Structure 1
Amino acid sequence: MPSSPSCALLVLFYSRNGGTARLAREVARGVDSVRGCSAVLRTVPPVSPSTEAVDPPVPDDGPPYAELTDVERCDGLLLGSPTRFGNMAAPLKHFLDGTSAQWLSGTLAGKPAGVFTSTASLHGGQESTLLSMMMPLLHHGMVIAGLPYSEPALSATRSGGTPYGASHWAGSEGRDLDDDEAALGYALGARVAGLAQRLADRR
């Protein structure tokens, strides 16, 4: 019987139209490519008056909704959101706002993190959204990992991809990831997973 992975990386995202979800799957593939690491893919529900009272406790399809125990158990975190006026989407911010107990206890302090996003327009706020997602992670004491220019796709891309994190230009019709966007999502997942292993060895 194979042993369980030594590092579990939480890939936590919100996706309205599928673009961020597609990128999240590439990020998870990158995590899983690192020996001894495994991606735990989770999403968050929309924010609405009916969320707790009426909506089902699990999504109809895709990964399950995240719980705070997922945050507590992870060895690293990859956070993804579509852009909302150059900022992360409210559902993801709502979930992060509920992590005060984990902040007080230092649950995530010293663990690695990365961020990714998807936009409908090419200049729709990719970089500012990525930076907005970093802020709560810094408050948690996490070690933020970006994408270095040693990744060839970062210089070649004509759509998504930034040194602040992976990104995807979905367009108004929801275009699929191109090769460069997919490669950078994969690279981000692998990079954060590798850091999680090295940091865990020193704890």
Structure 2
Amino acid sequence: MAEILVLYYSRYGATAEMARQIARGVEEVPGMQAKLRTVPAVSPVCEATEPAVPDSGAPYATTADLESCAGLALGSPTRFGNMAAPMKQFIDSTSPLWLTGGLAGKPGAVFTSSSSMHGGQETTLISMMLPLLHHGMLITGLPYSETTLLHTVSGGTPYGPSHLAGVDSKLPLTEDEKLLCRALGKRIASFAQKLTDNP
């Protein structure tokens, strides 16, 4: 079974739920499985440390997880139109993998959640694409053949799935948002499968 790494950071749970929906989509493709991983929070206080194993949720990602995956879905909440610092810190630590070309030629995709509809979702998605392009990944978006994009009044972009969490970050994923997450998971897994079958 080839693995798609669904790597995310989530503070209030919405991005984690998107990751689970993407994983469901991945596992709709025969011969493919999803591997959920997260990254630890960062703190401006130098003494603050995270436990080696999270209290709940997915385990922390390692460079080995990236190296062994057949494809990558990368998710982060929107922070001022950019990915959150914990995800950026993890991505910044992947230079050794970049030197070996460990992600080159693999499909990559991105997803995000924000508190407002116009809170920078699309720029956040693009900010996460940039390091994937530097790693040589093949960016997989959501085409408008996913007709949910045409009528959603919540999240969703051609750059990748998005979620509108509300000002208190408590809005659940809408059915449209779930469908788009699953569609992305299925899409990246299908591309990874084709690339694995025809290297």
TM-score (norm: length of structure 2): 0.96
Q: Report the Cα offset of residue 144 of structure 1.
A: 0.2
Tell me the equivalent position of 1:10.
5
Q: Report the Cα offset of residue 50 of structure 1.
A: 6.6
- Provide the rounded CA distance (Å) in 2 between the counterparts of 1:178 and 1:95: 29
- Provide the rounded CA distance (Å) in 2 between the counterparts of 1:35 and 1:52: 46
Tell me the equivalent position of 1:138.
133
Match 1:157 to one of 136, 152, 156: 152
RMSD of aligned C-alpha atoms? 1.3
2:105 aligned with 1:105, yes or no? no
Q: Is the partner of 1:22 in helix, strand or coil?
A: helix
Letter in 2 for 1:198: K
- The 5 A counterparts of 1:54-133 are 54-133=49-128
Q: Report the Cα offset of residue 148 of structure 1.
A: 0.6
Tell me the equivalent position of 1:21.
16
- Provide the rounded CA distance (Å) in 1 between the counterparts of 2:43 and 2:100: 29
- Provide the rounded CA distance (Å) in 2 between the counterparts of 1:70 and 1:94: 16
- Provide the rounded CA distance (Å) in 1 between the counterparts of 2:82 and 2:44: 22
- Provide the rounded CA distance (Å) in 2 between the counterparts of 1:85 and 1:9: 28
| Runs (5+) with no aligned partner, structure 2 | none
Q: Is the partner of 2:193 in helix, strand or coil?
A: helix
Letter in 1 for 2:192: A
- The alignment of Structure 1 onto Structure 2 pairs a total of residues equal to 198
Tell me the equivalent position of 2:30.
35
**Deviation digits for residues 109-162 of structure 1 (CA, Å, limit 9, x no counterpart):** 000011000000111011000000000000000000100101111111001000
Check whether the contact 2:109–2:139 (CA below 8 A) recurs between aligned residues: yes
Aligned sequence identity (%): 62
- The 5 A counterparts of 1:42-57 are 42-48=37-43, 54-57=49-52
Check whether the contact 1:28–1:186 (CA below 8 A) recurs between aligned residues: yes
Letter in 2 for 1:72: E
Match 2:197 to one of 183, 186, 201: 201
Match 2:178 to one of 182, 196, 199: 182
**Deviation digits for residues 37-64 of structure 1 (CA, Å, limit 9, x no counterpart):** 0000000000126788742111111000
- Provide the rounded CA distance (Å) in 2 between the counterparts of 1:92 and 1:110: 22
Change (3 A) 1:33 1:52: farther
Q: Which moved more, 1:80-89 or 1:41-50?
A: 41-50
Change (3 A) 1:90 1:100: same
Q: Is the partner of 2:79 in helix, strand or coil?
A: coil
Check whether the contact 2:41–2:50 (CA below 8 A) recurs between aligned residues: no
Change (3 A) 1:53 1:112: same
| Runs (5+) with no aligned partner, structure 1 | none
2:188 aligned with 1:192, yes or no? yes
Q: Is the partner of 1:83 in helix, strand or coil?
A: strand
